[in-house]
Amino acid sequence: MNADHIVEIEDLHYARGTRPIFSGLNLNIRRGEVTAIMGPSGTGKTTLLRLITGQLVPDRGRIRVDGEWLAGLRRDGLYALRRKIGMLFQNGALLTDLSVYENVAFPLREHYELPERLIRHIVLTKLHAVGLRGAAEMLPTELSGGMARRVALARAMATDPRILIYDEPFVGLDPISMGVIVRLVRRMNDALGISSIVVSHDVQEINTVADSSYLISEGKVAASGSPDELSNAPSELVRQFMHGMADGPVPFHFPAPDYTSQLIGNGEGDDDA
């Protein structure tokens, strides 16, 4: 065990049906840093988050979060551990029947018996930190995508977690909202002294905010290091991903039968033949 590491993953194997997602993944996330997990779409980045948070169970290998092996935990232990983790879902996952204010207050009300004045104080502080104190009375359906994500961030911070996990926080945002989220990721991490894990495939944005990055491909860590190290890595795959080239080790074409024979009509999968 390394006290510097808040998350340790050893020899992780996980398959969905017969399709292997991870085969022997090793990965450590350092305390107090912003760590990026990158990879082409479909490499199982979100699956990895669900494994780290114990929503899925690995086929083989072990995961340790903040000094505790996930495999040994029952539901109570897992829930106790999750209280230390704040997670930001891709779409925010706000509770649609509650106002912004009540969404942020939700984990506080569920977990602690706090006087209303204190809840109000905490909620307004968190909303202020993401710049949405003025939207407290709005409903989630009235928010833009970027605002919803910021509310979700305020909610994730409400119980003062030690780890904040972001699932694709930059997807589908306009440049201004994107800049806001990028800055928030950094500021939350440093101001609160927590550790952050950001799953993303937005190379440019993530490079401005991450202390170190892992690039995952074909079930393993393909490369790791600081953003600079990754940008200048010799590997073809890393170069393709970091510089956004259409073809390379990750081929442009999804595996398919031979083009000519399929066009002529004697290929497999031709239903009319």
Partner 1 sequence: MRDLWEAFTGFLRTFGALQLFLLRLIVESPRVLMRPRLVTQQIFNAGALSLVLIMVCGFFVGAVIGLQGHSNLARFGSEDILGLFSALSLMKELGPVITALLFAGRAGTALASEIGLMRTTDQLSAMEMMAIDPVIRVATPRFLGGAISMPLLTAIFTSVGILGSWVVGVPLLGVDAGAFWSQMQAGVGTADVWEGILKSIVFGLAASLIAVWEGYNAIPTAEGVGRATTRTVVITAVVILVFDFMITAMAISLG
Which residues of this chain interact with partner 1, rule CB under 8 A? Answer: 53, 55, 79-80, 82-83, 85-87, 89-91, 93-96, 106-107, 110-111, 152, 155, 159
CB atoms within 10 A of CB 28: 17
Closest CB 87 distance from partner 1, rounded Å: 4
Select 55 or 208, whichever has its Cβ closest to partner 1. Answer: 55
Q: Which helix (H) or strand (E) holds 185?
A: helix 175-192
- Cα torsion angle, 247, 249, 254, 258, sign: positive
Q: Which amino acid is at 59?
A: D
Closest approach of partner 1 to the CB of residue 23, in Å: 25
Number of C-beta neighbours around residue 25 at 10 A: 23
For partner 1, which is the closer residue by CB, 110 or 228? 110
| DSSP letter (8 states) at residue 254 | P
Encoding tokens for residue 6? 């808040």
Other Cβ atoms closer than 10 A to 239: 17
Q: How far is CA 106 from CA 8, 121, 144, in A?
A: 30, 14, 21
Identify which of residues 107 and 145 has a Cβ nearer to partner 1 in the complex: 107
Q: How far is the CB of 208 from partner 1 (least distance, A)?
A: 26
Provide the minimum distance between the beta carbon of 78 and partner 1 in the complex, in angstroms, as a whole number: 8
Task: Please tell me what DSSP assigns to residue 3.
Answer: T
DSSP 3-state percent helix, strand, coil across the chain (nearest 5):
40, 25, 35
Smallest separation, CB 156 to partner 1 (Å): 8
Residue 73 or 221: which CB sits closer to partner 1? Answer: 73
Which H or E run includes 34?
strand 34-38
CA 235 – CA 247 distance, rounded (Å): 14
Q: Look up residue 19 and give its two tokens.
A: 């399709």
SS3 244: coil
227 Cβ partners below 8 Å, 6+ apart? Answer: 206, 207, 210, 213
Q: Does residue 226 contact residue 201 with C-beta atoms inside 8 Å?
A: no
Rank residues 56 and 138 by Cβ distance to partner 1 and give the closer one. 56
CB of 4 to partner 1, least distance (A): 25
Smallest gap from Cβ 85 to partner 1, in A, equals: 7
Smaller CB separation from partner 1, 53 or 224: 53
Q: Which is nearer to partner 1, 105 or 222 (CB)?
A: 105
Which lies closer to partner 1 via its Cβ, residue 41 or residue 96? 96
Minimum CB distance to partner 1, residue 107 (Å) = 5
